[in-house]
C-alpha cells in the first residue's frame, strides 16, 4: 500500500482492472444516478435513459459482482432494492477526477 514502486506492467494491469470495472457506456452513469437517490430498478432505468432492461440488468449484476452495489429483496410486498455499497464510495475520488477532466477536456477540444 505504501509501495509506490510499481513496474510499468503492474501499473498497466491495475489500470486495466479499473477500466474493466467501470467502463462501458452505462456503469458510471448508473452509479451516479444511484447516488442521487434512485434505488428501484425502474427508477434507475428512467434516470439513465435510454437504457434497456436487458442492459440495465446485466450492468447491475456486474456492479454487484464487483461489490459496488447491493441488491436486496424484500417480501411483503415483494420489492427489490438496489443500493450503492459503502465500498462504492472508494470510487468517488476517481469519478470526481473524471468529471473534472472531462469538463476541462471538452473546453480543450471544442474551444480550440
Partner DNA sequence: CTGTATCCATGATGATACTG
Partner DNA sequence: CAGTATCATCATGGATACAG
Instruction: Give the residues lining the site for DNA (CB under 7 A).
Output: 24-26, 40-43, 50-55, 57-61, 71, 79-80, 82
Q: What is the CA radius of gyration of the chain?
A: 17
DSSP 81-94: EEEE-GGGGGGHHH
The span from the CA of 23 to the CA of 6, in Å, is: 23
The number of C-alpha atoms within 13 Å of 35 and in the hemisphere containing its C-beta is 15
Instruction: Indicate which of a copy of itself, DNA, none lies near residue 72 (CB less than 5 to 8 Å, by partner kind).
Output: none
Is 36 an interacting residue with respect to a copy of itself (CB under 8 A)?
A: yes
Q: Please say whether the beta carbons of 59 and 30 come within 8 A.
A: yes
Question: Of a copy of itself, DNA, none, which one does residue 52 interact with (CB within 5 to 8 Å by kind)?
Answer: DNA
Contact positions toward a copy of itself, by CB under 8 A?
6, 8, 10-19, 21-23, 25, 28-29, 32-33, 36, 47-48, 66-67, 87, 90-91, 93-95, 97-106, 108-109, 112
Amino acid at each position: 500500500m505504501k509501495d509506490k514502486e510499481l513496474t510499468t506492467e503492474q501499473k498497466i494491469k491495475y489500470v486495466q482492472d479499473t477500466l474493466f470495472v467501470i467502463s462501458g457506456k452505462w456503469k458510471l452513469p448508473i452509479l451516479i444516478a444511484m447516488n442521487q437517490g434512485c434505488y428501484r430498478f425502474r427508477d434507475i432505468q428512467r434516470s439513465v435513459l435510454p437504457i434497456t432492461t436487458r442492459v440495465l440488468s446485466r450492468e447491475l449484476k456486474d456492479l454487484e459482482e464487483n461489490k459496488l452495489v447491493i441488491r436486496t429483496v424484500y417480501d411483503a410486498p415483494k420489492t427489490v432494492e438496489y443500493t450503492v455499497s459503502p465500498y462504492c464510495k472508494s470510487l468517488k475520488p476517481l469519478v470526481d477526477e473524471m468529471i473534472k477532466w472531462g469538463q476541462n477536456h471538452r473546453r480543450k477540444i471544442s474551444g480550440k
